[in-house]
């Protein structure tokens, strides 16, 4: 299962995954199922990388028109389904948008 499909499945389950040091925290705990635990264990390394505490730096000269997020200074952006670019930290995608993108094979 691709990492984005894992994230989409966890979002579908109503879970939020956050990183605490080298551990992952899934909330709310009441929604944590055996399936979710297995997915998190199997893809822990990838989820830890995706929940990196420090955003990567912008390589110089690649896209000089795209400025870091004014709120968190992150340089990774999601392309909106209706256009535009959105910071995944400050403006996370809605679960229905993730499901739609997965269903059309975007991820």
Burial-class residue 43 by CB neighbours within 10 Å (0-12, 13-18, 19+).
Answer: buried
* Max Cα distance, the chain (Å): 46
pTM of the complete model beyond 0.75 = no
Confidence band, pLDDT 50/70/90 cuts, at residue 107: low
> Which comes out higher in pLDDT, residue 54 or 23?
23
Average pLDDT (87-95) is: 74
The alpha carbon of 53 is separated from its chain's Cα centroid by a whole number of angstroms, namely: 12
Q: Is a pLDDT exceeding 70 seen at residue 2?
A: no
Q: Is a pLDDT exceeding 80 seen at residue 98?
A: no
pLDDT digits (tens, 9 = 90+) for 35-69: 999 999 999 988 888 776 655 555 555 555 667 77
């Amino acid at each position: 299962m691709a990492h984005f499909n894992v994230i989409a499945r966890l979002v579908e389950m109503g879970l939020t995954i956050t990183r605490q040091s080298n551990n992952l925290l899934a909330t709310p705990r009441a929604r944590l199922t055996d399936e979710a635990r297995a997915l998190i264990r199997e893809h822990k390394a990838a989820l830890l990388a995706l929940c990196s505490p420090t955003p990567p730096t912008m390589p110089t000269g690649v896209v000089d028109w795209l400025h870091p997020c004014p709120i968190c200074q992150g340089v990774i952006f999601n392309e909106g389904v209706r256009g535009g670019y959105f910071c995944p930290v400050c403006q996370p995608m809605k679960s229905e948008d993730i499901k739609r993108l997965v269903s059309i094979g975007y991820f």
